[in-house]
Structure 1
Amino acid sequence: MELIIKADRISQLPDALILLILCLLPMKVAIATSLLSKQWKYLWKLMPKLKFDYLDHKRQLGTFSNNAVMTLLSHMAPDTGILLGIALGLHVHELILEVRSREVFKFPSCLFSVNKLVTLKLMYKVHIDVPSSVCFKTLRNMHLHYVDYKDNNSVINLLAGCPNLKTLTVHRYSHSSVKTFTISVPSLERLSIYNSNGGQLDWGYVINAPSLKLLKIKGVCGLGFCLIENVTELVEASIIDLHAYKEAWWNLLNLMLDSSPKLKTLKLINRWHCEKDYVHRGEWKQPVNVPKCFWFHLETFIWKGYKWQREDEKQVAKYVLKNAVNLKRVTFSSKRIKHKERVEVVKDLKGVVRASNLCQLIFK
């Protein structure tokens, strides 16, 4: 009888390479490797990225809220201080918590002071009750995907504890318990907001981000208000699902242009096709003063889903073309237009372009 023993080649790899392999595995599989040998027992604890799925851990570990926290607390690297390591571990750079269940998971208060965490993603059934003593000094990226908050102060405290935050992505339901979502982050450079439809008049945003360079808002028809102030560094703005039956949303466009003197790219995306949606629309009012970005910086203007037959949208388009003197590329797109009508519309728009002959106007 011949006994064949195959060599364990993976164990012979450097720990750094093994950790990269573990990061590609589901979390429960990565933890299970601790049973392979003494060498593997603590390797998973050095992983720089953690992703916990509520259903997986509930099935295998019992009560998720207890076991997940205990797992996180044991996740510490040997080259960090013991006490700081217990508070999630200085070695962890990215934490993804995704909860898909009827039950709501309360985010542990002990994790609101985590050092060296660069990216935090909280998704779905996660409840946040944020104390005033939040300290995410190294956090650069945050994704809040349909998260539930105790109150308005929880949002304010959470963001106030992120002094170096650069990117923020927010997804919200219209029935969120937080009516006024305040985003006041001096360091923030990129902000993306996605809203479900059907919001109330008292539901919206207050944005104060003096370093903001890119702003993206999708689903504005589900909002009651959006106050944008102190965004003087804004370079690119994108409003998706523009639903202009509310006068307030044309005012939002005016406010954003007036508050963004360095804006280079303006993109409007309208996905609404049913004319009955515009029965009670408001009218666009031309600003008293031409925005500064029109004089010095705006170079690209894109309008997808442009309703060329609507007088209010036609006025907005002509106002931009007439007053933005540095435009280099203008693109309109509209699926519902015949060739003959397209020629007339393009001729009409080109007739008001104030920029030099170098401005390229495209109508798709």
Structure 2
Amino acid sequence: MAGNLAIHSARAFVKSEKGRIEDRISSLPDDLLVSILLFLPTKEAVSTMILSKRWRSIWTMLPELEYIDSDYKQLPGKKKESIWWFLDESLQLHKAPLLQRLIIELGPGCPVDVDADIIKWIAYSDELKVNQLYFKLSWLSVPIILPESLYVCDTLVDLTISDKILLDVPSPVCLPALKYICLHYIVYKDEDSLVRFLSGCHALEYLYVERHDNDALKNFRVEVPSLKTLEYTYVKLGTNNVGNMGGSLVIDAETLGEFYLTDYSGNSCLIENKPRLDRATISVLCYPNDNFMKSLSSVIYLYILLSTETVVCCHAINFSQLIECTIISLQFDWLQPFMCFLQNSPQLKVLLIDQLDGDFPLSFTPPSSVPGCLSTHLEMFEWKGYRGRNGEKEVVKYILANSKYLKRAAIIIKPCSLENKKKMIKELKSVSRVSPLSRLLFSPLNWIPWYI
């Protein structure tokens, strides 16, 4: 059915004035026909070669190819069809002078022993001068080593490798055009391979890393002078115990502007210089060093998990540029550090608190002076997971009573009995608000009236 649809999409017949049927689309220039085929899945685009001699080689000029094993369905009573055979044959026939994008996702439907074929495909993509390469293997028992030619490709701009791949990097590495790298759950031969790989990417601007427990690395070092954005995720699997595992994340990237860190490994996190960060997401149960925390002083947008490891920043850092902030609170008495944070964030306009579950006690003591952000800047305030405990009530009352420029406050109440909810709403409605323009909104937890 899909094949027929592809054929009819690629060929149009019209009647001439004399009543004869004419195939006008086949007379279009090659580049326009290639543009039409780009709207089709790769397999359907290739199937147009049976239309006529005119169409036989058009698909071979496609600048984008996608081979996704999950697209091949299980037929009743038959073994799952694999994309392997189609990929192997069609890739060898491809003739485009430049391959803008190649996507290969191989799953368990492929033959077991295809290491040589995989290496051949990657090497051939280098010959085609690929710009963007996405390669995922999800079924091999032993990760494969990518060909050395990949590490000296002068046209590669965007690289994503995922799952059963071993980063075993020769020396030297030369990837002069590579700007974007995504490393999803791969395995590393050793720490030197990672360092050699990144050191050969002189134009690298964006690095995404998602690690797993068995990736063979203890220390993960990112030393990239040109790096602008780093996203790093290491969620330790199979355990509820978080403690220092003796490993580390080390960052040496002085031009870094955006940093998104999720690390629950218990390792240390070190920054060897002080980049000027504009945007940061810090969700960690690890141990950041002083430079790491100080690098947050320049952020404009901040998302932070307030834990025993990060609470020190509330006291020690002056967030002089901070405008928007989301605070996730864990199970400890966080209200006093939170007030210190407000004192140190004079430009803050948008504040969201997301309070996680827990019945731990909270205590609140008003500061000696009103935080400057409340007096001059705060416009939006939201509290998710509000429970109506004494400490929470006192903080909300304090913010509403002192935020002169507040336009909207949203209290998102944790699900509870209707009676308790009405009681909390009544209490908060009675709180005096210094800003005549402020609107107070209430909702259950699953409704969010606005977003940061």
C-alpha separation between the residues in 1 aligned to 2:313 and 2:208?
31
Question: Counterpart of 1:50?
Answer: 102
User: One-letter code of the match for 2:325?
Assistant: F
* Of 338, 356, 360, the match for 1:317: 338
Aligned to 1:268: 304
Which blocks of at least 5 consecutive residues in structure 2 are unaligned?
A: 1-19, 63-93, 356-383, 413-452
Give the direction of change, closer, same or farther, for the CA distance of 1:8–1:57 in structure 2 (3 Å limit).
Answer: farther
- Aligned residue identity for 1:170: V
Deviation at 1:160, TM superposition (A): 0.5
Identity %: 23
Give 3-state SS (helix, strand or coil) of 1:112's partner. Answer: helix
RMSD over equivalenced CA pairs, Å: 3.5
- Using the alignment, how far apart are the partners of 1:230 and 1:176 within structure 2? 27
In the alignment, which residue of structure 2 is the partner of 1:338?
387
Find the aligned partners of 2:255 and 2:310 in 1 and give their Cα distance: 32
Q: 1:23 deviation in Å?
A: 7.6
Equivalence for 1:66: 116
Call closer, same or farther: CA 1:95–1:113 in 2, change over 3 Å: same
Give, in whole Å, the separation in 1 of the partners of 2:223 and 2:40.
Answer: 35
The yes-or-no answer on 1:25 pairing with 2:41 is: yes
Secondary structure (helix, strand or coil) at the match of 2:169 reads: coil
2:326 alignment partner in structure 1: 302
- Of residues 128, 132, 149, the one that matches 1:110 is 149
Work out whether 1:97 is the aligned partner of 2:135. yes
Closer, same or farther: CA 156–268 of 1 in aligned 2, 3 Å: same
Give the alignment of 1:154-233 within 5 angstroms: 154-198=193-237, 201-218=245-262, 220-233=263-276
**Residues 217-248 of structure 1: per-residue CA shift (max 9 Å, x gap):** 12x222311112324221111023x44xxxx5
Q: 1:79 is matched with which residue?
A: none
Residue identity in the other structure for 2:57? Q
SS of aligned partner of 1:239:
strand
Report deviation, 1:19: 5.4
- So what's the TM-score if we normalise by structure 2? 0.61
CA distance in 2, matches of 1:212, 1:13: 46
DSSP-derived class of the 2:386 partner: coil
- Displacement of 1:13 in angstroms is 5.3
Name the amino acid aligned to 1:43. Answer: M
Counterpart CA distance in 2 for 1:93 and 1:283 is 40
1:9 is matched with 25
| Partner Cα distance (1:95, 1:10) in 2 | 31
**Would the alpha carbon gap of residues 21 and 339 (structure 1) be closer, same or farther in structure 2, given more than 3 Å must change?**
farther
The 1:64/1:217 distance shift into structure 2, 3 A limit, reads: same
Q: Which residue of 2 aligns with 1:128?
A: 167
* Number of residue pairs matched by the alignment: 320
Matches of 1:339 and 1:11, distance apart in 2: 73
Alignment equivalent of 1:258, drawn from 294, 301, 312: 294
Distance (whole Å) between structure 2 residues aligned to residue 8 and residue 283 of structure 1:
67
Query: Which amino acid in the other structure matches residue 95 of structure 1?
Result: L
Offset, 1:135: 0.9
Query: Deviations along 1:153-175, whole A, 9 cap, x unmatched?
Result: 11101110111111110010023
TM-score using structure 1 length = 0.74
CA deviations on 1:318-345 (whole Å, 9 max, x unpaired) are 2211122222222212354334644323
Q: 1:191 deviation in Å?
A: 0.7
Among 170, 181, 190, which residue is 1:142 paired with? 181
Distance change >3 Å, CA 56–CA 95, structure 1 → 2: farther
Deviations for 1:20-57, whole angstroms, at most 9, x for unmatched residues?
7348524x666676777553373243241111223389
| Conserved? CA contact 1:266–1:301, under 8 Å | yes
Query: What one-letter code is carried by the residue in structure 2 that aligns with 1:229?
Result: E
Q: State the distance in 2 between where 1:35 and 1:72 align.
A: 28
Structure-1 separation of matches of 2:123 and 2:171: 22
Cα offset, 1:118, TM superposition:
1.0
Q: Secondary structure at the match of 2:58?
A: coil
Point out which structure has higher relative CO (alpha carbons under 8 A, 6+ apart): 1
Cα displacement (A) at 1:70? 3.4
Contact 2:168 2:193 in 1 (8 A): yes
Shift of 1:139: 0.7
CA distance 1:194–1:286, change in 2 (3 Å): closer
1:239 aligns with 2:263: no
8 Å contact kept, 2:245–2:265: no
- Cα distance between partner residues in 2 of 1:154 and 1:35: 46
Alpha-carbon distance change, 361 to 173 in structure 1, aligned in 2, over 3 angstroms: farther
Cα distance in 2 for residues equivalent to 1:110 and 1:183: 23
CA contact (8 A) 2:33 2:58 kept: no
From the superposition, tell whether residues 182 and 43 of structure 1 become closer, same or farther in structure 2 (CA, over 3 Å). same
